């Protein structure tokens, strides 16, 4: 074996040992700790992709640049999972006692067990037809007491809920003062409207609303402070009044960008971070930080 190969092997082994020791010690922000499994599967040489959920590093995610692709080979996250997680870890401080609810998480039990080691975590689903949760929960009638939760992670769920105002009101009710709902939805157009014909997503769940930028106003009407979280590349495009080339039928990008207000956007990831973690194309990664005032 060449000297360079031996050094690489030693570096990989050291990375795995450090990850395992850090995980067992439980020190620092565990939300950003590398899973020992991910360390073992990582490549430290010529790695240009990093999963911010499990810490895997390698030559690239599997698939293409799309919110529903760019798969992590260790934890199974796709790019939108990683951006939602990124928003949470960038916008809130770490508290291992924080009560965190994730609605309809698409990641498996390994991910959920890891989350439960990091925070006071539980998951929910409405009918458990596509995602098994620890509890069944309807966002329009949340069976939890007032002021219960510190964090809600809700990825691509609200568009499947008939009564948006009721769901936002219920989320506001169950959040503790100072709590955050990180609300992620597809944003296929500039203004909110119902689909013109029946629309279903990959899990055969009916879509009631195709949201636009005005969702931020609905969130504020429910009592939240709302920040619209984006990558720098999206805000730059809005500043320059330009759109993106996109051949997919799931988003009218020109219409979406025609209503994009750069002054209403909060950048949470720059271009290099977006490249490293797979937050591309930029218009697919808009997430609403709904903060309940203290």
Q: What is the reported pLDDT for 128?
A: 54
Is 142 among the domain residues? yes
Query: Is 214 in contact with 251 (CB distance < 8 Å)?
Result: no
Residue-level pLDDT, tens digit, the chain, 294 residues:
566 667 767 777 788 888 888 888 888 899 999 999 999 899 888 889 999 999 999 999 999 999 999 999 999 999 999 999 999 999 999 999 999 999 999 999 999 999 999 999 999 986 555 455 567 899 999 999 999 999 999 999 999 999 999 999 999 999 999 999 999 999 999 999 999 998 888 767 899 999 999 999 999 999 999 999 999 999 999 999 999 999 888 999 999 999 999 999 999 999 999 999 999 999 999 999 999 999
Is residue 64 included in any domain, yes or no? no
Domain count, the chain: 1
Range of the domain at 230: 77-291
pLDDT of residue 4: 60
SS3 88: helix
pLDDT at 127: 57
The verdict on whether omega for the bond into residue 57 sits within 30 degrees of 0, i.e. cis, is no
* Domain membership flag for residue 162: yes
Q: How far is CA 272 from CA 38, 43, 233, 277, 278, in A?
A: 22, 19, 10, 9, 10
Residue 169 belongs to some domain of the structure: yes
In a domain, 32, yes or no: no
Write out the two tokens for 69: 């692709």
Does residue 188 fall inside a structural domain?
yes
85: domain CATH number? 3.40.50.150
Q: Which long-range contacts (CB under 8 A, 24 or more apart) does 5-8 make?
A: 8/44, 8/45
pLDDT tens, position by position, 27-73: 889 999 999 999 989 988 888 999 999 999 999 999 999 999 999 99
């Amino acid at each position: 074996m060449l000297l360079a190969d031996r050094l690489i092997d030693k570096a990989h082994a050291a990375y795995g040992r450090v990850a395992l020791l850090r995980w067992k010690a439980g020190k620092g922000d565990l939300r950003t700790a590398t899973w020992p499994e991910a360390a073992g599967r990582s490549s430290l040489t010529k790695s240009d992709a990093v999963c911010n959920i499990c810490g895997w590093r390698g030559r690239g995610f599997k698939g293409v640049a799309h919110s529903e692709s760019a798969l992590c080979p260790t934890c199974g996250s796709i790019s939108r999972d990683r951006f939602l997680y990124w928003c949470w870890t960038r916008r809130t401080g770490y508290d291992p006692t924080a009560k965190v609810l994730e609605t309809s998480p698409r990641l498996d039990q390994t991910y959920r067990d890891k989350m439960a080691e990091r925070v006071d975590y539980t998951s929910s689903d409405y009918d458990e037809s596509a995602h098994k949760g620890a509890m069944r929960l309807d966002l329009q009638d949340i069976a939890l007491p007032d002021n219960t939760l510190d964090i809600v992670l809700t990825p691509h769920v609200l568009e499947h809920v008939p009564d948006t105002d009721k769901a936002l009101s219920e989320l506001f009710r169950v959040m503790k003062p100072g709590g955050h709902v990180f609300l992620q939805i597809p944003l296929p157009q500039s203004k909110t409207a119902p689909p013109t014909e029946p629309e279903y997503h990959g899990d055969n769940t009916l879509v009631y609303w195709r949201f636009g930028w005005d969702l931020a106003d609905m969130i504020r009407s429910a009592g939240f402070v709302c920040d619209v979280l984006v990558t720098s590349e999206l805000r730059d495009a809005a500043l320059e009044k330009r759109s993106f080339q996109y051949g997919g039928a799931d988003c009218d990008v020109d219409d979406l960008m025609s209503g994009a207000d750069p002054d209403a956007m909060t950048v949470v990831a720059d271009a290099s971070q977006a490249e490293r973690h797979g937050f591309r194309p930029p218009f697919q990664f808009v997430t609403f930080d709904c903060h309940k005032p203290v």
